[in-house]
């Protein structure tokens, strides 16, 4: 026994010596090699137990300020004491299919958004009232997305002005931009996105290095922008005018740039990381373009339908600091259903429960500009030419059938956009909501929809997001949500969950069939990873 005990002592000493030599990331309190929310839990546990481990703010003691510092890092992606040299913009270059592009780090800060004094009498009503905004750190494209990069990701170039691949891409709708970004994320493993309107304006003003210019980088428009008077009625290669204080090019002029937000009026209230209204008819654009006569100022606002295209309109990328990986965690709720199904609290493509999110034809994983069978992926242009998911010869292309009645993961919008932990629900799971929950028609933060309360009292909100047919949202007050289940009697259709309201009869909620070419929203379910 003494020999065994001595051996164990030696082994433990060796292990202690080995682990002592491992360098863990700052903030990795639980020593799992990554800094996540679990480290906050571990740090709080250490404080409660009096364990002196987790001095993440490096002040020589472990206390509640370390928890605050760690949470701040997780939100911003950088430590508050990290050095930031304003004279040397922090950048990172990415390469996709041989084409490189650069992202510039923007340190978080506070600014006044909207019609500030230097905008003078040029400011429009929709830029008012000016209001205080706090922005967290993020990264933004050094230039507008070029035709070269779009071609490398999408395999085609929709632009009207060609001849130089360094021109900004144009003739792209907001929906086209979302598709481009989804594919870029699949190629890079990152979570690129469009900037919010507030992020865009903060960066255009020069961030914390702002000199208070009227345009992005100068009070003289011709120094920094291609616009109506100097463009010769065309776009120009990016980065051929002077940059702004952050080293960003063409934030004024060349092409107007899509932002993530729905368009809405400003509030005078101070805000932190605003994302605009939860829904609207229009998406925000910023920056002015080669054809603009007056509104290329840093506070100028534009808005267009998300399906609209123009040779004046393109995009610029944004990215969370730390180059976040794709398939970030999404929230879900346990409603106490008999099956134990866990439902997402937001639609795919949304950030809050009231936001509509993205629209998909059944079996497609990217939004698009136009929804009908002529553009549908799984047919040859008409209702009776299905090429996948068909169980009746009457609906198959030349009598095609494959016996498939549920979407494969690669055709599931939840799986592709949110990761393998998520799927579109089956029609049985949707029917379980109908049969076991209490439904109430309500308005949540200005958005109409159904409040669904489970047997255990937990709830979710399904906004009346309507659906796309052709190129327009259906003019109704209803929420339509795809299942992943094919209709058994008509292979041109699939099952959906619908919730709507009638003044005469109240709330209706049920499952039904709908043609697969319609553009519907998706409320995902969590898949067990056990």
Indicate which CATH number applies to the domain containing 205: 3.90.1580.10
Query: Looking at the domain assignment, is residue 58 inside a domain?
Result: yes
Read off the pTM.
0.71
- Of the residues 48, 76, 104, which one is the last residue of a structural domain? 76
Q: Tell me what pLDDT residue 422 has.
A: 95
Query: Looking at the domain assignment, is residue 66 inside a domain?
Result: yes
Instruction: Tell whether the model's pLDDT for residue 10 goes beyond 70.
Output: no
Helix (H, G, I), strand (E, B) or coil at 80: coil
Per-residue pLDDT tens over the stretch 44-92: 888 888 888 888 878 788 888 788 788 877 766 666 665 444 455 689 9
Per-residue pLDDT tens over the stretch 325-346: 444 578 999 999 999 999 999 9
314 and 393 in a common domain: no
Share of the chain above pLDDT 90, in %: 71
Query: Looking at the domain assignment, is residue 376 inside a domain?
Result: yes
Task: Give CA angle at 156 (151, 157), nearest 5°.
Answer: 75
355 and 256 in a common domain: no
Contacts of 400 by beta carbon, 8 Å cutoff, 6+ apart: 386, 387, 390, 393
Domain range for 494? 332-526
Per-residue pLDDT tens over the stretch 424-466: 999 999 999 999 999 999 998 889 999 999 999 999 999 999 9
246 and 116 in a common domain: yes
Q: Tell me what pLDDT residue 339 has.
A: 95
Query: Looking at the domain assignment, is residue 324 inside a domain?
Result: no
Tally of domains within the chain: 3
Helices and strands in the chain, H and E counts = 9, 24
102 and 207 in a common domain: yes
201-214 as b/e, with b when 16 or more CB fall inside 10 Å? bbbbbbbbbbeebb
What DSSP assignment string belongs to 361-383? -TT--S--S-BSTTT-TTBSSST
Query: Looking at the domain assignment, is residue 326 inside a domain?
Result: no
Q: Tell me what pLDDT residue 89 has.
A: 62
**For the chain, how big is the Rg over CA atoms in Å?**
26
410 and 292 in a common domain: no
- Of the residues 292, 319, 346, which one is the last residue of a structural domain? 319
Q: Tell me what pLDDT residue 77 has.
A: 63
Per-residue pLDDT tens over the stretch 188-239: 989 899 999 999 999 999 999 999 999 999 999 999 999 999 999 999 999 9
Per-residue pLDDT averaged across 287-298, rounded? Answer: 90
Match 């992943």 to its residue by tokens.
484
Q: What stretch of H or E contains 16?
A: helix 2-20
210 and 144 in a common domain: yes
Query: Looking at the domain assignment, is residue 86 inside a domain?
Result: no
199 and 303 in a common domain: yes
Query: Looking at the domain assignment, is residue 301 inside a domain?
Result: yes
Instruction: Tell whether the model's pLDDT for residue 276 goes beyond 50.
Output: yes
6 and 110 in a common domain: no
- Of the residues 261, 290, 319, which one is the last residue of a structural domain? 319
pLDDT band of residue 530 (cuts 50, 70, 90) is very low
168 and 245 in a common domain: yes
**For residues 528 and 530, which has the higher predicted lDDT (pLDDT)?**
528
Query: Looking at the domain assignment, is residue 85 inside a domain?
Result: no
Q: Tell me what pLDDT residue 80 has.
A: 62
337 and 314 in a common domain: no
362 and 313 in a common domain: no
Q: What are phi and psi of 20, to 5 degrees?
A: -65, -25
Q: Judge residue 395's burial from the number of C-beta atoms within 10 Å of its C-beta, 0-12 exposed, 13-18 middle, 19 or more buried.
A: buried
**CA atoms within 13 Å, Cβ hemisphere of 29:** 26
219 and 110 in a common domain: yes
Instruction: Tell whether the model's pLDDT for residue 39 goes beyond 60.
Output: yes
CA distances to 25, 213, 267, 389 from 32, in Å: 9, 46, 43, 43
Match 């054809």 to its residue by tokens.
291
Indicate which CATH number applies to the domain containing 33: 1.10.1330.10
Q: How far is CA 469 from the centre of its chain?
A: 23
């Amino acid at each position: 026994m003494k020999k065994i005990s001595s051996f164990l002592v030696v082994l433990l000493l060796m292990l202690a010596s080995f682990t002592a030599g491992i360098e863990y990331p700052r903030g990795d309190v639980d020593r799992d090699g990554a800094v996540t929310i679990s480290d906050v839990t571990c740090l709080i546990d250490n404080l409660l137990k009096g364990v002196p481990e987790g001095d993440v703010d490096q002040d020589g003691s472990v206390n509640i300020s370390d928890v605050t510092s760690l949470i701040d890092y997780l939100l911003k992606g950088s430590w508050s004491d990290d050095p930031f040299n304003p004279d040397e913009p922090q950048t990172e270059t990415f390469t996709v299919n041989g084409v490189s592009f650069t992202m510039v780090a923007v340190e978080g800060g506070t600014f006044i958004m909207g019609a500030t004094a230097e905008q003078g009498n040029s400011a429009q009503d929709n830029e008012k009232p000016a209001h205080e905004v706090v922005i967290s750190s993020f990264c933004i494209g050094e230039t507008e997305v070029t035709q070269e990069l779009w071609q490398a990701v999408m395999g085609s170039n929709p632009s009207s002005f060609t001849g130089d691949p360094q021109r900004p891409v144009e003739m792209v709708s907001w929906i086209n931009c979302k598709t481009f970004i989804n594919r870029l994320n699949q190629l890079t493993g990152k979570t690129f996105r469009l900037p919010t309107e507030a992020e865009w304006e903060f960066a255009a003003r020069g961030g914390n290095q702002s000199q208070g210019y009227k345009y992005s980088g100068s009070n003289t428009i011709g120094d920094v922008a291609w616009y109506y008077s100097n463009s010769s009625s065309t776009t120009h290669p990016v980065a051929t005018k002077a940059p702004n204080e952050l080293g960003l090019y063409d934030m004024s002029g060349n092409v107007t740039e899509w932002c993530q937000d729905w368009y809405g009026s400003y509030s005078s209230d101070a805000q932190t990381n605003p994302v605009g209204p939860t829904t609207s008819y229009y998406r925000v654009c910023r920056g002015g373009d080669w054809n603009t006569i007056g509104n290329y100022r840093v506070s100028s606002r534009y808005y267009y339908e998300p399906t609209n295209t123009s040779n004046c309109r393109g995009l610029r990328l944004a990215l969370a600091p730390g180059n976040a990986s794709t398939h970030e965690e999404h929230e879900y709720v346990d409603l106490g259903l008999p099956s134990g199904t866990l439902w997402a609290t937001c639609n795919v493509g949304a950030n809050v429960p009231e936001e509509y999110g993205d629209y998909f034809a059944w079996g497609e994983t990217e939004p698009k500009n136009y929804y009908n069978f002529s553009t549908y992926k799984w047919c040859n242009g008409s209702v009776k030419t299905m090429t996948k998911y068909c169980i009746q010869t009457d609906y198959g292309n030349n009598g095609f059938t494959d016996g498939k009645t549920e979407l494969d993961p690669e055709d599931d919008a939840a799986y592709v956009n949110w990761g393998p932990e998520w799927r579109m629900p089956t029609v049985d799971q949707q029917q379980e909501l109908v049969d076991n929950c209490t439904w109430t028609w309500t308005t949540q933060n200005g958005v109409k929809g159904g409040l669904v309360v489970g047997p255990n009292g937990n709830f979710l909100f399904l906004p009346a997001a309507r659906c796309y047919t052709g190129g327009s949202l259906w003019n109704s007050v209803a929420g339509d949500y795809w299942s992943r289940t094919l209709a058994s009697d008509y292979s041109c259709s699939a099952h959906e969950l619908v919730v709507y309201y009638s003044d005469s009869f109240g709330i209706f909620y049920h499952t039904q069939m709908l043609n697969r070419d319609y553009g519907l929203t998706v409320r995902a379910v969590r898949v067990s990873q056990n």
